[in-house]
Structure 1
Amino acid sequence: MLTNPQKRFLRKNAHSLHPIFQVGKGGVTPNMIIQIAEALEARELIKVSILQNCEVPKEEVAETISSRSGAELVQVIGRTIILYKESKNKKQIVLP
């Protein structure tokens, strides 16, 4: 579980990132979860964009992705989700 100062630190670092995944009409698929988990292992911090045509509420999409990929949900802002998961092999981010 992340503390508030850690979330603030991660939000600051994620500000310059661009979303690398998009959730659309198909919703969250098992293949998408696998790819997100692999991206989190490589990058530790990612953004996911939720498209307008997604039929599932954004909070539910965020909860589904974070729980299935084992990531921490940092923030849902607008239609963008910020996720963090500490890498086992390529640790880059040192939390305060």
Structure 2
Amino acid sequence: MAKRLIPYLNRILVEKIVPPSKTSAGVLLPEKTTKLNSAKVIAVGPGVRDRNGNLIPVSVKEGDEVLLPEYGGTEVKLGDKVYHLFRDEDILGTLHE
């Protein structure tokens, strides 16, 4: 049975996107050009409540591609995959084409 993690509060579960280390022609890329801290949102929590009890939802949704800070987050291993948990306010932005 596969486990599914559903984050609490305003936490977001992401899977980091590993950029290619070489081009389609086989040219190896330097590490600096492949270091983009992007990730795909796998699951989101429901959000947090303000002082009046109103729900403030998370600002991203499952499937979004987001930009992460260089450091932070909590590593979570489920089965053979590695994910990371971040708070909603730690996400730097969403990436669009």
TM range (shorter): under 0.3
Greater percentage in helix: 1
Superposition TM-score, scaled by structure 1 size: 0.27
Superposition TM-score, scaled by structure 2 size: 0.27
Q: Answer with 1 or 2: which has the greater Rg.
A: 2
